[in-house]
Amino acid sequence: MMKLKHLAYYICCYIIKFFSFVFYPCKGFGLENIPKDSPFIICPNHISMFDVVALNMVYTKPMRYMSKAELFDNKLIGGILSVFGAFPVKRGMGDVGALQNAELMLKNNEPMCIFIEGTRTKNSDASPGKAKSGAVLIASSVCCDIVPVAIVYKHAKPRIFSKSYVYFGKPISSTELQIENNDRNDIRKAANRIMSTITDMWKAGTEQCRK
């Protein structure tokens, strides 16, 4: 029997998709790169709050999201986020509990999305910013793949009736990250490698969709 939370997720997704299809059309590429039978972390760049909607429009399966804890202070917003699989994390405070929670979810084979920048980009052209280490640290601990994702908006940021594009890259295995004993330098290099891949994808997607 389908879990109640998954049923609520699908209902919300289809309602949002109906309106988004008309007002914010979105197209996905590279969905075949998403692992079928193993846990994975989707790592997109972060431009707008609409990013989550764009992802759910092209990848319809339930997914867990790391979201800043402050958003859950509002019960309505927190409830909506929970329906979409979000769970709180205290940014900049080394939230060990949230990391352990994320690892447990992945071990239960629940797909996860972690915006690798940790916050929305501050660049005026919406280009990706600097990478945080959380995603690669979790991937290394659980031994799961990371799927780099580039979200591109035709006009840099989402606008009504303007198209958005989501590009899924080839998965990068935890072995390829080359992290030994949670070494800080290894973690930083791995995070920068993921960020570099996402940035290259974003540049290629931007060039293609803004012609």
Q: What is the pLDDT of residues 160-199, one digit of tens each?
A: 888 899 999 999 998 898 888 778 889 999 999 999 999 9
Contact 161, 203 (CB under 8 A): no
Contact 116, 196 (CB under 8 A): no
Name the residue with tokens 């793949």.
Answer: 145
Contact 36, 57 (CB under 8 A): no
H-only helix segments in the chain: 4-23, 51-58, 75-83, 96-107, 134-142, 184-209
Least confident range from 1-5, 47-51, 155-159: namely 1-5
Strands of the sheet containing 64-68, edge to edge, are: 26-29, 164-168, 145-153, 40-44, 112-113, 64-68, 86-89
For residue 159, what are the contacts with CB-CB under 8 A and spacing of at least 6?
A: 153
Which comes out higher in pLDDT, residue 56 or 131?
131
Mean pLDDT over 58-82 rounds to 80
Contact 58, 31 (CB under 8 A): yes
pLDDT of 167 reads: 98
Which comes out higher in pLDDT, residue 10 or 46?
46
Contact 78, 71 (CB under 8 A): yes
Q: Give the span between the Cα atoms of 61 and 78, in whole angstroms.
A: 20
- 110 sits in which H/E element: none
SS3 40: strand
pLDDT tier for residue 92 given thresholds of 50, 70 and 90:
low
H-only helix segments in 84-144: 96-107, 134-142
Report the Cα 149 to chain-centroid distance in Å. 7
Q: Give the span between the Cα atoms of 30 and 60, in whole angstroms.
A: 14
Q: Which among 100, 118, 12 is positioned nearest to 60, based on CA atoms?
A: 12
Percentage of residues of the chain with pLDDT beyond 70:
90
Average pLDDT of the chain is 86
